[in-house]
Amino acid sequence: MKNQRKTPFGANFLSLLFVFSTLACSTSQPLTQRNQNADFDHKLADSLLTLGFDQEALYTLLSDMKPMSSICNLSLPLARKDSSGVDEAITISKNISYLQQLERYQKVLDALETADVGFIISPFKQDYDGKRIMQINAYRRSTMAKMVAERQAFFGQWGFVPSTEPEILINTIEYESKYERFRGYGYLFGYPKHAVDFFVDASQSEARTKQFVKRDFFSIPVFIKRAGHFVYAVPKGYKPTETDSTIYQKAAVVLADYKKLRTQFMRPDSSLRALEMWKAVQKKK
C-alpha cells in the first residue's frame, strides 16, 4: 500500500511485520498557518499525546513494556525522483511550509521529553511517489538500554552498548540491510524473541521459495481497539506460551490503570487533556 506505513513489523507495507495500520498525523494544513503567535502548540501536543496514549505507545509512555512505539506517520512531498546527490535536492520556495511544519512538530516533541522518555521523527529510507514517509516514535531510554544489554550479541555488531543514544540506534537500524533491519526493529518495538525469529525466518523462506509463509497474529489490546495495534506474527496454529501470556497480562494492568487515569482528564467534549495528564504523571515520579 502506498504512502502508508507503521512499523517494520506491521502488516500494511513492504516491511510491516507484526502490527497493522496506524493513524496518520494531519498534514493537510501547514502548522505555520495555525497558532502563529504561540511559542508552543498546545493543540498539537495534545493531539500527538492522545494518539500515543490511546494506541500502543501507551506501553512506552506509561510503562516499560516497549522500548519504542510508533505514534503516527507524516507523509510529505520532499523526496527526490532520483539519487544524483545534487546539493539543491528540493526547491525551498515550494517546500518551505513542509519544512516549517516539521520544525513545529520537532519543537513540540522536544518540549514533551522527560529524563527517560524521548521522541524522534524518523525518515524512512525508501520514498514513495516523491513523498518522504516519516514516523514519529516515542522511546524509553531505560527500557532501550535494558533491551540492548539483553541483545548485546546482536546490537554489538554496530558497536551499540546500553548507553548508546537511542536515536542513533533507531536511525542506524532503519538504514541497515533487510533482515538486520527486520530483527532490529522487532527488538526495538518490544516483540518477544520467538516472534522476531519467526518473522525473520519466514521472510528468508519467502525470498528463497517465493511462497508466503502462513501465520496467525497475537494481539495485545490498546485503548481504542482490542486488536491490530500492538500485535505480532506467529506460526499458523500457534498456541500462546507463558511468555505471550505474561506480556498480555502485564499490558492488561497498564491499560486498566490508564482507563482510570484517563477519566480524570476528559473535557466536556470528550477530548483528552493529554498534555495536562502527561505533566501530572511526571510530577508524581
pLDDT at 37: 42
pLDDT at 85: 62
Is residue 279 situated within a structural domain? Answer: yes
The maximal CA–CA distance of the chain, rounded, in angstroms, is: 58
Is residue 13 situated within a structural domain? Answer: no
Is residue 172 situated within a structural domain? Answer: yes
Is residue 3 situated within a structural domain? Answer: no
pLDDT at 60: 98
Is residue 11 situated within a structural domain? Answer: no
Q: Which residues contact 62 (CB under 8 A, 6 or more apart)?
A: 53, 254, 257, 258, 281
Lookup result for grid cell 521523527: 121
Per-residue tens of pLDDT for the chain, all 285 residues: 333 344 445 433 333 433 333 446 754 333 333 333 457 899 999 999 999 999 999 999 999 999 999 999 998 887 666 666 655 555 665 677 888 889 999 999 999 999 999 999 999 988 777 788 999 999 999 999 999 999 999 999 999 999 999 999 999 999 999 999 999 999 999 999 999 999 999 999 999 999 999 999 999 999 998 777 899 999 999 999 999 999 999 999 999 999 999 999 999 999 999 999 999 999 987
Is residue 12 situated within a structural domain? Answer: no
pLDDT at 82: 63
Half-sphere exposure (CA, 13 Å, Cβ side) for 244? 17
Domain holding 204, by residue range, is: 31-283
Span 130-159, pLDDT tens digits: 788 999 999 999 999 999 999 999 999 999
Helices 242-262 & 274-283 angle (0-180, nearest 10): 110
In the chain, the number of structural domains is 1
Q: Apex CA 166: angle with CA 156 and CA 221, to 5°?
A: 105
Is residue 268 situated within a structural domain? Answer: yes
